[in-house]
Amino acid sequence: MRKLTAVDIFSGAGGMSIGSVMAGLEPLLAVEFDVHAAATYEANHSNTKVLQQDIKTVNPLEHTEKHPFILFGGPPCQGFSVANTKTRNIKNPNNWMFQEYLRFVKDLEPEWFLFENVVGFRSFDKGKFAIEVEGELKSLGYETNSTVLNASDFGVPQDRKRFFIVGHRTDRGGIKFDFNSLEKTKSKVTVGEALKDLPSLVNGDKIEITNYRFPPKGDYVHLMRSKSRKAKQNFVTENKSHIVDRYRVIKQGENWEAAKLKGLLETYSSTKHTHSGIYKRLEEDKPAVTIANYRKSMLIHPHEDRGLSLREAARLQSFPDHFIFKGTLSFQQQQVGNAVPPLLAKAIFDQIVQLSCANSSSKCNT
């Protein structure tokens, strides 16, 4: 029986690894520099060796064998983000971390790789950077395909676009990966569908474990609750009273401008450069806006005058309810916001597994 082994680098909390396990893969090794994210990964992947260290110091062959089925990960993306105007340039050291990704591909020679990053990676330096990266991967003996995908097309209740490159070794047969063949969901999952059974909370609540409000209803909620009988980590940032006052006047789909009209942004010296996603109240009948640093952007629950709880944000990212985050609340929130939605990753891994098993002489362990 063939084992479909995986290596996850720049792993963060492990969103891609959760998606890989859903697709039948077995992560053997993960590398993550941040101590809190590494602790979260380790807590949720007991069979994976987790290295919490600078990837530049890691020799992968000291920790795993050559030729895993797949290597995946996304180098730090701060330098590529279209929202980042201060350091979005070729001199940002984070923009060169992809060299470590290339080194791991070269050393391990996986059958497949999956490279992930923010949408801005594709347009960075007028597109030359992404072309260069893909060209270097091809030079290592891989046939590659790249595209931008929206998580909401694959069962995630969130509009979140990410850039991906998939590669397959040219000496392992003529397998053709096609992003256009990925199976999309027939209808998009909404915020209301995703959150309806989670507990009612108030500003500042810190409820570790409590009952769900309702029995599971709908495919998405069933999937999220498949291994969990209680709602865990219902943690809400405690905002000051003047912030809660702003929440109260903002309706679904509205943002900070509604509070400004009511004279409630008096602490702002200027709103000239305020992003449209600040103080955004989520709409229950649509997928969520991108869940990035949702505490700093003050994303508002669709019905309650408070910020999102950690569990709600994780639900909107498609982390299953049994997944537990480590570190202080601010670090937990950042881990959720940085992650690749597991169901988006699963959609890609599913096709990779299907293509490989269909072209393999041995049965796959899925």
Distance, CA of 353 to CA of 347 (rounded, Å): 10
Q: Examine the domain organization and report whether 173 and 84 are in the same domain.
A: yes
Residue 343 burial (CB count, 10 A) = 26
Distance, CA of 288 to CA of 152 (rounded, Å): 9
Distance, CA of 26 to CA of 70 (rounded, Å): 10
Residue 337 pLDDT exceeds 60: yes
Q: Examine the domain organization and report whether 304 and 203 are in the same domain.
A: yes
- Predicted local confidence at residue 123, as pLDDT: 84
Burial 264-302 (b: 16+ CB within 10 A, else e): bbeeeeeeeeeeebbbbbbbbebbbbbbbebbebbbbbb
| 11-to-2, 160, 258, 290 alpha-carbon distances in Å | 24, 18, 38, 20
- Predicted local confidence at residue 364, as pLDDT: 73
Distance, CA of 29 to CA of 53 (rounded, Å): 13
Task: Categorize the per-residue pLDDT at 124 as very low, low, confident or very high, splitting at 50, 70 and 90.
Answer: confident
- Predicted local confidence at residue 69, as pLDDT: 97
Find residue 118's DSSP bridge partners. Answer: 162
Distance, CA of 290 to CA of 81 (rounded, Å): 13
Q: Examine the domain organization and report whether 254 and 349 are in the same domain.
A: no
Q: What does 102-170 look like in DSSP terms, one character per residue?
A: HHHHHHH--SEEEEEEETHHHHGGGGHHHHHHHHHHHHTTEEEEEEEEEGGGGT-SB--EEEEEEEEEG
- Predicted local confidence at residue 221, as pLDDT: 97
Question: Which residues are CB-contacts of 41 (< 8 A; sequence separation ≥ 6)?
Answer: 11, 12, 13, 14, 17, 30, 32, 48, 50
Assess if residue 365 is contained within a domain: no
Assess if residue 366 is contained within a domain: no
Q: Examine the domain organization and report whether 174 and 148 are in the same domain.
A: yes
User: Annotated catalytic, 364?
Assistant: no
Quick: pLDDT tens for 49-97.
999 999 999 999 999 999 999 999 998 855 555 555 555 454 555 557 8
Q: Examine the domain organization and report whether 137 and 35 are in the same domain.
A: yes
CATH number at 318 reads 3.90.120.10
Residue in 77, 201, 282, 339 annotated catalytic? 77
- Predicted local confidence at residue 1, as pLDDT: 65
Q: What is the CA radius of gyration of the chain?
A: 21
Residue 312 dihedral angles phi and psi, to the nearest 5°: -65, -45
Task: Check if the beta carbon of residue 24 is closer than 8 Å to that of residue 351.
Answer: no
Q: Examine the domain organization and report whether 249 and 133 are in the same domain.
A: no
What angle (nearest 5°) sits at the alpha carbon of residue 364, between those of residues 100 and 73? 20
Q: What is the span of the domain harbouring residue 218?
A: 191-338
Q: Examine the domain organization and report whether 151 and 215 are in the same domain.
A: no
| 176-to-72, 184, 211 alpha-carbon distances in Å | 18, 19, 46
Average pLDDT over residues 175-181: 93
Count how many residues are written for the chain.
366
Burial 106-145 (b: 16+ CB within 10 A, else e): eebbbbbbbbbbbbbbbbbeeeebbeebbebbeeeebbbe
Q: Examine the domain organization and report whether 332 and 348 are in the same domain.
A: no
- Predicted local confidence at residue 365, as pLDDT: 66
Q: Examine the domain organization and report whether 320 and 350 are in the same domain.
A: no
Residue 125 pLDDT exceeds 60: yes
Distance, CA of 185 to CA of 1 (rounded, Å): 31
Weakest mean pLDDT among 78-87, 156-165, 346-355? 78-87
Distance, CA of 177 to CA of 345 (rounded, Å): 15
> What's the total number of domains in the chain?
2
CATH number at 131 reads 3.40.50.150
Task: Categorize the per-residue pLDDT at 272 as very low, low, confident or very high, splitting at 50, 70 and 90.
Answer: confident
Assess if residue 363 is contained within a domain: no
